[in-house]
Structure 1
Amino acid sequence: MASPNNTAAFQGSGDEVPEKRTSIGEVHHDDDDYGADTELKRSLSTRHLTMIALGSSIGMGLWLGSGLSLASGGPAGIFLGYCLAGSMIWCVSHSIGEMACVYPLPSAFVQWTGKFVDPSAAFALGWSYWFSYCITIANELQAANTVIKFWTSAVPVAAWISIWFVVIVAINVGAVTWFGEIEVVASSIKFGWIFVVIISMIVMSAGGAAYDAVGFRYWNEMAFTNGFKGFLSVMPTCIFAMSGSENSGLVAAETKNPRKSVPRAVGSIWLRLSLFYLLGSLMITINVSPKNDDLFGQEGTNASPFVIAYRDAQIPVLAHMMNAVILISVISTGSISGYGGSRTTMGLAYLDMAPKQLQKADKKGRPWYGLVPTFIIGGGLAYLNVSESGSDVFGWFSNLTSLFTLFGWGMICLSHIRFRYAWARQGRTAEELPWKSWIYPLGPWWGLIMCFLLIIVQFYLSVWPLGKSPNAVDFFANYISVIVIIVLWLGARAYFRGRWWVDIDSIELDEGRRFYKSDAELAEPKATGFKGVATKTMKAFFS
């Protein structure tokens, strides 16, 4: 059933058709300021979405967690880990890009899963992902405390957590445009600084620092510090570091023109993967020994490997600047997690999987009913760092988040596969899509298979942890995410009953869809005069 349009569709600003059919079948009239079928304001631009896509996931996982990965996996282990994780998120991002142009919904992949896969899977994904956002807020807050310790230990841990928690909350309670501008600034700082890191660390490794030339000495001496198992152990941290990249799908619901904004954001993924993760991780492997006791998670100062490299090179100015950039990064990532958590609960409410109040947003587009519980849980978990070491808390949280992320990425890829199948099954062509991924179908299949395999790998590492004997504490600490997902899924199955899969032939492809002016224009035959006007009018009313 096509969404009804009228002649006003061709008079709106931009490319978008302002009238569309909602998920409950009624005609909904939007002006260009409001998201499809929600109270969110569409006030974010292409610039906002592109910069958020570039920098949203650059936080503790890269700047701090890479030290843990370097120690456990070695130079080759961490670099290959980022290569593998990067190939996955590249495929996932293409799936997001294609679907977000057609269905820019507040919780994006949660609603896509309910529409194309199974409501029970959407329920499990939505609530587990919401908890993952809460965990990420906690992890970034405790990371901020670790970063501050490079300068001073005089202030209590709880005080720093409270200070940065207030900052993250303040960013989210402002207008959506305020949030977008702050993230643009933060992403610009991160993006600009990576060039300083790459150039300076190449010079340092070549002998232009306080120590002799290093080159690829550590690669030759200890490419893999703990063999193949050590390589496997870096994958949760690599996945955690790249988690958040899928937030571009959530932001699409609040952009003015997703068909222009989303493809540009997806097109920037390769730049982020190559500059931040691949070249960034390569730089620390040619400057920092995996046996350095000061690496995050080791016995020394628990610092970022990037800061250690500058400190050992006796360039204190760059060490302090690097630490400041890390602080900005973790606060930015925590802020985005609050944004993502509140939008996820809103999407669940639209699927009747959460209280209806969560659908509400105020006049500035702030979903208070989603923001408040997200920050209460996330902030509360952050205080675990008061009684436990930062690296231990990071290990727990990153393992939990990486499993939730793998489940989310897998559902995104599976939703894309079934979306395309339904699209073709109902007689539509790929050329009718607002934007078409050029790596389909290999991309989503690669992403789905790798997510499944890495969940199995994480089970192996939970039963036989690196450097430890099998024990119940480590198993549940590292694998409880999967248990939570299964319990949520089976509970939802018992409630929803019915089919295990959404019937492809029953999917209403135009429900929840955002239409663009060119969609209608492409469907119109070439005609002139009165006949052309009549044809356009009939198409507008009955397409």
Structure 2
Amino acid sequence: MSDGKPDYSSTEKEGQVAVGETFHQGDYGAETELQRRLTTRHVTMIALGSSIGMGLWLGSGKSLASGGPAGIFVGYVLAGSMIWSVSHSIGEMAVMYPLPSAFVQWTGKFVDPSAAFALGWAYWFSYVITIANELSAVCTVLGFWTDKVPVAAWITIFWLVIIAVNVFGVNVFGEVEVICSTIKFGWIFVVIISMIVISAGGAPGVKGPNPPQTYPVGFRYWNEEPFINGFKGFLSVMPTCIFAMSGSENSGLVAAETDNPKKAVPRAVGSIWIRLSLFYLLGALMVTITVDPKNENLFGAGGINASPFVIAYREAGLPPLAHMMNAVIFISVVSTGSISGYGGSRTTMGLAHLGMAPAPFKKADGTGRPLWGLFATLLLGGGLAYLNVNHNGADVFTWFSNLTSLFTLFGWGMICLSHIRMRKAWKLQGREPSELPWKSWTYPYAAWWGLAWCMILIVAEFYLSVWPLHADPDAETFFANYVSVILIIICYLGARVYYRGAWWVNLSEVDLDQSRRFYVDSDIEKPKKKGAMAVASKVVGAVFN
């Protein structure tokens, strides 16, 4: 940062060819010390599985109790339509501008440097909170098996695991995410089929004088009370639904470390419907037809605070599936926590290249690891997790989820706005949509849909923070739930004072070729792998192509 302006200086000579298939024109931070070691297989699986974590497996129980079966299902439908819209905006921009800290740099290029500053630090803190939330939730998950180990010990152990996944380099990170995502993706089929059987009365049930469940269930809970706590109950569901889907946008970040974004990113965007339909919509539906919203053992209630999926299997008399479900939830913690460390470190790198973070954060070591960003992200994320030691796990989860969901809504909104303004600049400067390296068929409707709902839900969460569910208005509750927006406003106004100038970037003067990646041969990718990795790649390709 110099003379009140962000640093968009080039670190690569203009016109330099990269890997035979692309070259950059002016850098804008496009070329860094990161190394392009991720392939289409990695990006696709990261897009599919990176957001599948505590929000779905654990938080859906709290949402079920607060909003009812129809409330949680409609919440996931709405949140799903938003991230579907956001993903298409990401796809179009990430192919053309595959930058570290992508959303931040797109915002600085097409919206305003002050907005980019606020977005970058908001997103970084969101990644930090997600790490803390995943580590906090792992204590609840492992409590299903034993309560003999101190909470602080579990947090420390798996904090070190997440650190190890990131420290061993992007190759290890990519393979861990592929494995975890494959497990989660495969398990959802087991969940759907088995829970349909349970709901239909095909499970043995728990034997005893007072069994906790009677079968078949069908849509009994939908018929009894589809929406619990009315409109306010539905609003209380939305933070968890947004938190559950946060991370889906990480396909935009990994584009900077991908050989061929033009091939990898559209495929990741195209797979979004699989994640939305299978994981969230059908997964949430299965919960509503097998678990009583008033079950005292649901996460956030007064019982053992278990996942609704685990409760469904246990009360159906299927303890092996309950244990397997808990193991998959545990794997999700490692996956989501590790990708949050990845995202946080790349965000600080992008900020540093814009002069919005200390210069050391733009550095990476010989293997492409941004160690300064990793250190700051993982240290603070792990440190915040220890709040769970002296507080109720469900309360900490809810607090962190509310903070993350508001940061996420701001991020999604800025992505859609950047896409809208990028297209406007493209048109103003006399270019045709056909000249884009990849064009989303959803523009402009999806981008405006996503932006509008982000703004609506930020206002709705303000209402819920002032008048919370089952509680009287309270200043402490308001700030605990809405402090994210306050921090965003402070960062934005502080940056406005520093940068001054116009409130919006002049789109007629934006250099559309600066930081752009030009595609010469879109079919070139790294040499094909041999042996077992070739077999694995073919299996993944057969599933997702």
TM-based fold match above 0.5: yes
Hey, what does 2:405 align to over in structure 1?
A: 402
| Amino acid of the structure 2 residue aligned with 1:135 | I
Hey, what does 1:482 align to over in structure 2?
A: 485
Runs of at least 5 residues in structure 1 that lack an aligned partner in the other structure: 25-35, 520-543
1:204 aligns with 2:198: yes
Post-superposition offset of 1:416:
0.1
Q: Residues 208-357 of structure 1 correspond to what in structure 2 (within 5 A)?
A: 208-209=202-203, 210=205, 211-357=214-360
Task: Say which of 31, 36, 49 aligns to 1:42.
Answer: 36
**What is the alpha-carbon distance in structure 2 between the residues aligned to residue 253 and residue 484 of structure 1?**
28
TM-score of the superposed pair, with normalisation by structure 2: 0.91
**What is the alpha-carbon distance in structure 2 between the residues aligned to residue 496 and residue 198 of structure 1?**
52
The 8 Å contact of residues 204 and 313 in structure 1, kept in 2 or not, is answered as: yes
Hey, what does 1:71 align to over in structure 2?
A: 65
Post-superposition offset of 1:20:
3.5
Q: Classify the secondary structure of the residue corresponding to 1:23.
A: coil
The 8 Å contact of residues 144 and 331 in structure 1, kept in 2 or not, is answered as: no
Post-superposition offset of 1:512:
0.9
Hey, what does 1:385 align to over in structure 2?
A: 388
Post-superposition offset of 1:13:
5.1
1:110 aligns with 2:104: yes
Hey, what does 1:80 align to over in structure 2?
A: 74
Task: Say which of 110, 121, 132 aligns to 2:126.
Answer: 132
Q: Classify the secondary structure of the residue corresponding to 1:515.
A: strand
Please list the CA deviations of residues 101-142 of structure 1 after superposition, one character each: whole Å capped at 9, or x if unmatched. Answer: 000001000100000000000000000110110000000001
Q: Residues 181-200 of structure 1 correspond to what in structure 2 (within 5 A)?
A: 181-200=175-194
**What is the alpha-carbon distance in structure 1 between the residues aligned to residue 81 and residue 103 of structure 2?**
19
Number of equivalent positions: 502
Check 1:314–1:103 CA distance in 2 against 1; reply closer, same or farther (3 A cut).
same
Please list the CA deviations of residues 263-317 of structure 1 after superposition, one character each: whole Å capped at 9, or x if unmatched. Answer: 0000000000000000000001000000000000000000000000000001010
Hey, what does 1:122 align to over in structure 2?
A: 116
**What is the alpha-carbon distance in structure 1 between the residues aligned to residue 503 and residue 333 of structure 2?**
40
**What is the alpha-carbon distance in structure 2 between the residues aligned to residue 324 and residue 22 of structure 1?**
44
The 8 Å contact of residues 69 and 293 in structure 2, kept in 1 or not, is answered as: yes
**What is the alpha-carbon distance in structure 1 between the residues aligned to residue 123 and residue 339 of structure 2?**
13
Task: Say which of 435, 443, 446 aligns to 1:432.
Answer: 435
**What is the alpha-carbon distance in structure 2 between the residues aligned to residue 407 and residue 56 of structure 1?**
19
| Amino acid of the structure 1 residue aligned with 2:74 | L
**What is the alpha-carbon distance in structure 2 between the residues aligned to residue 355 and residue 98 of structure 1?**
30
Runs of at least 5 residues in structure 2 that lack an aligned partner in the other structure: 1-11, 206-213, 523-545
Post-superposition offset of 1:60:
0.2
Task: Say which of 456, 459, 479 aligns to 2:459.
Answer: 456
Hey, what does 1:20 align to over in structure 2?
A: 25
| Amino acid of the structure 2 residue aligned with 1:449 | A
**What is the alpha-carbon distance in structure 1 between the residues aligned to residue 376 and residue 521 of structure 2?**
41
The 8 Å contact of residues 170 and 368 in structure 2, kept in 1 or not, is answered as: yes
Hey, what does 2:137 align to over in structure 1?
A: 143
Please list the CA deviations of residues 171-210 of structure 1 after superposition, one character each: whole Å capped at 9, or x if unmatched. Answer: 0001211100000000000000000000000000000111
| Amino acid of the structure 1 residue aligned with 2:314 | R
**What is the alpha-carbon distance in structure 1 between the residues aligned to residue 136 and residue 62 of structure 2?**
16
Q: Classify the secondary structure of the residue corresponding to 1:388.
A: coil
Please list the CA deviations of residues 246-279 of structure 1 after superposition, one character each: whole Å capped at 9, or x if unmatched. Answer: 1110011000000000000000000000000000
**What is the alpha-carbon distance in structure 2 between the residues aligned to residue 228 and residue 37 of structure 1?**
48
The 8 Å contact of residues 5 and 20 in structure 1, kept in 2 or not, is answered as: yes
Q: Classify the secondary structure of the residue corresponding to 1:383.
A: helix
Q: Classify the secondary structure of the residue corresponding to 2:299.
A: coil
**What is the alpha-carbon distance in structure 2 between the residues aligned to residue 21 and residue 446 of structure 1?**
33
Q: Classify the secondary structure of the residue corresponding to 1:246.
A: helix
Hey, what does 1:495 align to over in structure 2?
A: 498
Post-superposition offset of 1:506:
1.4
**What is the alpha-carbon distance in structure 2 between the residues aligned to residue 160 and residue 5 of structure 1?**
50
The 8 Å contact of residues 24 and 516 in structure 2, kept in 1 or not, is answered as: no
| Amino acid of the structure 2 residue aligned with 1:22 | D
Q: Classify the secondary structure of the residue corresponding to 2:516.
A: coil
The 8 Å contact of residues 134 and 374 in structure 1, kept in 2 or not, is answered as: yes
Hey, what does 1:441 align to over in structure 2?
A: 444
The 8 Å contact of residues 56 and 247 in structure 1, kept in 2 or not, is answered as: yes
| Amino acid of the structure 1 residue aligned with 2:113 | P
| Amino acid of the structure 2 residue aligned with 1:20 | Q
**What is the alpha-carbon distance in structure 1 between the residues aligned to residue 316 and residue 144 of structure 2?**
16
1:166 aligns with 2:169: no
1:516 aligns with 2:500: no
Hey, what does 1:100 align to over in structure 2?
A: 94
Q: Classify the secondary structure of the residue corresponding to 2:136.
A: helix
Hey, what does 2:531 align to over in structure 1?
A: none
1:362 aligns with 2:356: no
Give the share of equivalent positions with the same residue, in percent: 72
TM-score of the superposed pair, with normalisation by structure 1: 0.91
Post-superposition offset of 1:329:
0.4
Post-superposition offset of 1:19:
5.0
Check 1:485–1:5 CA distance in 2 against 1; reply closer, same or farther (3 A cut).
closer
Please list the CA deviations of residues 412-442 of structure 1 after superposition, one character each: whole Å capped at 9, or x if unmatched. Answer: 0000000000011111111111110101000
Please list the CA deviations of residues 474-518 of structure 1 after superposition, one character each: whole Å capped at 9, or x if unmatched. Answer: 100000000000000000000000000001111111111111116
| Amino acid of the structure 1 residue aligned with 2:195 | M
**What is the alpha-carbon distance in structure 2 between the residues aligned to residue 464 and residue 369 of structure 1?**
41
Post-superposition offset of 1:402:
0.3
**What is the alpha-carbon distance in structure 1 between the residues aligned to residue 24 and residue 482 of structure 2?**
45
**What is the alpha-carbon distance in structure 1 between the residues aligned to residue 248 and residue 19 of structure 2?**
30
| Amino acid of the structure 1 residue aligned with 2:168 | G
